Structure 1
Amino acid sequence: MTGRSGAARPPILVLVIGAAFLLLVTSLVIGSLTSPEYPAFALSAPRPALVGDSLVGPGTYTLDASATDRWRRFDFGRNAAVDSGAWDLAFRRFHLIVAPGGGIVDLGPVPFDSVVELPAAGYADNTAGPDTTNPAVGKWYAYSMLSHLLTSKHHVYGVRTPRGKYAKLELLTYYCRDAGTACITFRYAYQGNGTPRVAP
């Protein structure tokens, strides 16, 4: 009788796996139902103005990149998001590319202010395709299966523009209160005189 009762009892390993599975499912459900607290960044008003040969920044800029059918362009030389004319970066959802003739280099998870001068080489071109990307900045974020949110890895990137100017860039967040998701906020400093020095 005792032997039959013991044999009918589920093995401890099965119970542990079952409990872990239920915990995972519960976490996923809670994560999907929880409304995220969006960062307090507000969309920047685009006021394009030529900056000339000066050092611009460090500053932050927030733009709405939620459209799936068009790129939102940013021009360092005019210090604003633009709809026409020259541009340096373009954003669409979580994708980021550089204007043709430019390049991006990943400098790693270093403090933004520690980057004083950018390298002369190592800048990656875009990879053309149905979903054009730039390999240097393609995975600037981490994705959480529990919260379903993208969070920045806080790498600093060097940008060489098609006009041979330099900027440093850090992508801060994919969310803002004004637009919700695909609202990109980035920190940057731009050197308009053509040298790779991006700090005073």
Structure 2
Amino acid sequence: MKTTFTQANAVTLAFIMVFFTLSLSSCSKDDGDNNVTPELEVKTVEDLDGSKTRVLLDDSGNPITNENGDEVLVPIRAYFDFSAGKEVDSTSTTWDIKFDGTTLSFGNGAEAQLVEGIFDNYVTAPSTGFSTENMAGSGTWYNYTATTDPQHAILPIPGKILVLKTHDDKYAKIELISYYRGNPDTSAEAFKDFMNRPDSKVYTFRYVVQPDGSTNLK
């Protein structure tokens, strides 16, 4: 059988070739998009409460009282597991940081260090310099204002980033934002009244965790 290649055949072939080329281009673009590493999510924790207390009990489970007959209260610290992204209790074997007033403690193998920088622009965790030592004292992650307005306040230091190596060897960056319930405006007149300012030991912070174990924090 003789086949005749007509103009109609040529037009049809041209359309097929154009469609095939566009399909290849689309697949190539999709493959390229799949290779793009998504940015890590910035998470914010509001009002992690380390201000709570409980009644101190004796060995028999009875409340202990002071000389005035009042029940003795002891603080309940706040513990946070950054890999899980949640508060845990003191018996947990996965907490990374204990928030104890102005003291930050690290547990279960977690280590940390303070660095200077802008949170959003800090994209790579250091490979050395980590420590299990507590962070405490004015000038570490916070300043204590003493008699400077607002008096007797705990204010996180802008530009200080806490870099954490978690209990399960993941890297994280943390920016402590507030030491007071509700993250109040510390420049407001109302905040100057330290007898009536919001509860302290209630933490607001934001953080990023790299789940793959690399030092990339972008």
TM-score in terms of structure 1 length: 0.62
Cα distance in structure 2, aligned partners of 1:117 and 1:159 = 12
Percent sequence identity over aligned pairs: 29
The answer as to 2:165 corresponding to 1:150 is no
Q: Which of the pair has the greater relative contact order for Cα pairs under 8 Å at 6+ separation?
A: 1
Q: Give a deviation string over 1:28-53, Cα, whole Å, max 9, x none.
A: xxxxxxxxxxxxxxxxxxxxxxxxxx
Cα distance in structure 1, aligned partners of 2:93 and 2:39 = 21
Correspondence for 2:209: 190
What is the CA distance between 1:56 and its match in structure 2? 5.3
| Alignment of structure 1 residues 151-166 onto 2, 5 Å | 151-154=155-158, 155-166=160-171
Cα distance in structure 1, aligned partners of 2:39 and 2:178 = 24
Kindly indicate whether the alpha-carbon contact (under 8 Å) linking 2:138 and 2:144 is maintained by their aligned counterparts in 1: no
Question: Counterpart of 1:160 in structure 2: which amino acid?
Answer: K
**Secondary structure, aligned partner of 1:113:** helix
Superposition CA RMSD, Å: 2.5
| Alignment of structure 1 residues 132-151 onto 2, 5 Å | 133-134=134-135, 139-146=140-147, 147-151=151-155
Cα distance in structure 1, aligned partners of 2:139 and 2:131 = 11
Point out the more displaced range, 190-199 or 94-103: 94-103
Correspondence for 2:129: 122
What is the CA distance between 1:98 and its match in structure 2? 1.5
Correspondence for 1:60: 44
What is the CA distance between 1:71 and its match in structure 2? 2.6
**Secondary structure, aligned partner of 1:107:** strand
Cα distance in structure 1, aligned partners of 2:43 and 2:176 = 12
The partner residue of 2:75 within 66, 69, 75 is 69
The answer as to 2:161 corresponding to 1:176 is no
The partner residue of 1:111 within 113, 118, 127 is 118
Bigger radius of gyration among the two: 2
Cα distance in structure 1, aligned partners of 2:39 and 2:79 = 20
Aligned structure 1 segments of 4 or more residues deviating by more than 6 angstroms: 135-138
Aligned residue pairs total 139
**Secondary structure, aligned partner of 2:120:** helix
For structure 2, the 5+ residue unaligned runs are 1-37, 53-73, 184-197
For structure 1, the 5+ residue unaligned runs are 1-53, 127-132
The answer as to 2:98 corresponding to 1:79 is no
Cα distance in structure 2, aligned partners of 1:114 and 1:170 = 12
**Residues 66 and 135 of structure 1: is their aligned pair in 2 closer, same or farther, counting only changes over 3 Å?**
closer
**Residues 85 and 124 of structure 1: is their aligned pair in 2 closer, same or farther, counting only changes over 3 Å?**
closer
The partner residue of 1:91 within 94, 99, 109 is 99
Question: Counterpart of 1:118 in structure 2: which amino acid?
Answer: A
What is the CA distance between 1:85 and its match in structure 2? 4.5
TM-score in terms of structure 2 length: 0.57
**Residues 77 and 94 of structure 1: is their aligned pair in 2 closer, same or farther, counting only changes over 3 Å?**
same
